[in-house]
Amino acid sequence: MIARVYVATKNAGKLRELRAIFAGSPIELATYDGYADVEESADSFHDNALLKARTLRKQLRTARVEAAVIADDSGLCVDALGGGPGVLSARYGGKEATWEARRRLLLGEMRNVPDEERSATFVCYMPLILADGQTWMGEGFAKGAITREERGAGGFGYDPIFIPKGETQTYSEMGEEKKNKISHRAAAARALLEICGEVL
């Protein structure tokens, strides 16, 4: 059976990847134009992810739509920056900063960090709430390293400055097809499908 699931995201890059990742799975993603972004006030990916999913669920129910929802809270945790920007990844350098400025800021802060200390982890928490309230959470991680300069034009966000462990290309350079096989988001989706697959 295919379950129609509304996705709580305003991030076009994420949405594109989620559609590709769930293609061929029992989850068919739908968007809701009325989804009003939520203040990500929690201090963990887990709780912010739940906040987004619950917000969309409430908005749909107000509009008399009883449906399942999914969300994605993700970010980049850099060891040399004490795990930052972490849950603040989307707001690093200020809410109004451009993505180029955010990447430049991060590379600048890492200027004096030697190659062997440039490790970082992309994190993704992905909750699914069914219409009846049953909730599951998928978690995914991708370990890797921060480059010294931007490389590649594909993807979004921090993609041009992150090289996954065991790879030579950044997320941007490798292209979405490969990224969607090895990314933190793909891992979270796989974990989620594994735990909720039977009830879908």
Q: Which of 86, 146, 159, 174 binds ligand ITT (CB under 6 A)?
A: 159
Residue 183 touching ligand ITT (CB under 6 A):
yes
Distance (Å, whole) CA 66 – CA 133: 10
Burial 62-80, CB ≥16 within 10 A → b, else e = eeeeebbbbbbbbbbbbeb
The distance of closest approach from Cβ of residue 139 to ligand ITT in the complex, given in angstroms and rounded to an integer, is: 13
In terms of CB distance, is 159 or 173 closer to ligand ITT? 159
Give the Å distances, CA to CA, from 42 to 8, 97, 134, 161.
Answer: 16, 21, 21, 26
Among 97, 109, 131, 156, binds ligand ITT (CB under 6 A): 156
Residue 14 lies near ligand ITT (rule: CB under 6 A): yes
Among 138, 140, 144, 157, which residue interacts with ligand ITT (rule: CB under 6 A)?
157
Q: If 0-12 CB within 10 Å is exposed, 13-18 middle and 19+ buried, where does residue 15 land?
A: middle
CB 106 within 8 A of CB 86: no
Distance of alpha carbon 139 from the chain centroid:
10
* Interacting positions 65-84 with ligand ITT (CB under 6 A): 72-75
CA distance 190 to 196: 10
Q: Which residues are catalytic?
A: 73
Residue 140 near ligand ITT by CB under 6 A: no
We find the least distance from the C-beta atom of residue 80 to ligand ITT, in angstroms, to be 18
Under the binding rule (CB under 6 A), the answer on residue 121 touching ligand ITT is: no
Q: What is the number of other CB atoms lying within 10 angstroms of the CB of residue 26?
A: 14
CB of 1 to ligand ITT, least distance (A): 26
The answer, yes or no, to whether the previous bond of 160 is cis (omega within 30 of 0) is no
Instruction: Return the number of the residue (9 or 147) whose C-beta is nearest ligand ITT.
Output: 9
User: Does 40 help bind ligand ITT (rule: CB under 6 A)?
Assistant: yes
Interface positions with ligand ITT (CB under 6 A): 9-11, 14, 37, 40, 52, 72-75, 89-90, 155-159, 171, 183, 185
